[in-house]
Amino acid sequence: ITILESYEQKDLNERINKLKVASSRYQEDKEHAFEAKAIDEYIKLLHTQSQLEKEIPHQQLVGLSLNDTVHKCITTNHSNKANKLKSDFKIPDKRFWWIKLKALVEMRDWDELDPM
C-alpha cells in the first residue's frame, strides 16, 4: 500500500521517502528479501534518472523503466551513460544488446549498428 501511495507523490523526494518505508517493512520479513531489494534498486533508479535529467536536456526520465531509460540515453547520443546504467544495474549482455539494437535502428545509425 505504501508503494501505491508513493506514486501519488508528485515530489520525487516524497516518493523516495515512501518507498524507503516500504522497503524497510519488507526487510523485516525474510520471505520478502527480493521485494526489499527491488524497491532499493528502484530508489537508486529514481536518483539516477533525476541526475540524468540534469545532464540530458529536455528529457523526462523519472518514471520510465530501466530499459526505456537506457533506450533514451542511446537515442540522445549518451552511450557512455547507457553503459554506466548497464554496469550499475547489472543488465545482462543479451538484453542490453537488444535495447541498443532497437535504439540504433530507430536512429538509423547504421555505422554504429555495423559492428554488432
Partner 1 sequence: KMSHLGNTNSSLNVSSLRELARKQLTTVLDSVRGKKCLVLDPNISAPLSLIAEFSLLKEHGVEKVHYLQQGPLETDLKSLIYICRPQLNYMKYIAGHHQKNDPSSVYEYNLFFVPRRTKICERVLEDSGVFGDILYVFYHLDLIPFEDDLLSLELDNTFKELYLDGDYTSIYYAARALMKLQTKFGLFPRVIGKGDCAKHLADMLLRMRKEVAVDDPSSTLSVSQSIDSLIIIDRSVDLITPLCTQLTYEGLIDEVFSIRASHVEVDSSIVGPASQKSVATTSATTSTTTTTPAQPSPPPPAKKKKIALNSTDKLFVQLRDMNFAVVGGVLNRVARRINEDYEGRHQAKTVAQIREFINKLGGLQSEHQSLRTHTGIAEEIMAYTVTPEFNKALEVQQNLAAGIDINLQNDHIEEMINRQVPIVQVLRLLCLLSIVNGGLKQKSFEFFKKEILQSYGFEHLQTLLNLERLNMFVKQGSTNNKFSSIRKQLQLIVDEVDEHNPQDISYVYSGYAPLSVRLIQCVTKGCPTSINPVVTGAANNVAGTGVSTRSIGWKGYEDVLRMLPGKSFDEVQRLDDGTIRSKKLIQGQQPRVTLIFFLGGCTYTEIAAIRFMAQQEEGQREYIIATTQIINGNSLLNSIMQKIDHLGHSTSGSS
In this structure, the dihedral spanned by the alpha carbons of residues 90, 38, 82 and 93, taken in order and rounded to 10 degrees, is: 30
H or E stretch at 18 = helix 12-27
**Can you read off the three cell numbers belonging to residue 90?**
547489472
Q: Name the residue type at position 106.
A: E
Size of the site for partner 1 (CB under 8 A): 28
Figure out which of the listed residues 51, 55, 98, 112 binds partner 1, where binding follows CB under 8 A. 98
Q: Out of 16, 40, 50, 89, name the contact with partner 1 by CB under 8 A.
A: 89
With binding defined as CB under 8 A, does residue 36 bind partner 1?
no
Kindly state whether residue 71 participates in binding partner 1, applying the rule CB under 8 A: yes
Task: Say how far apart CA 98 and CA 96 lie, in whole Å.
Answer: 5
Beta strands in the chain, from DSSP E residues, in sequence order: none
**Interface mask toward partner 1 for 44-63; x: CB under 8 A:** -x-----------------x
* Residues in contact with partner 1 by the rule CB under 8 A: 3-4, 7-8, 34-35, 38-39, 41-42, 45, 63-68, 71-72, 89, 91-92, 94-95, 98-99, 102, 106
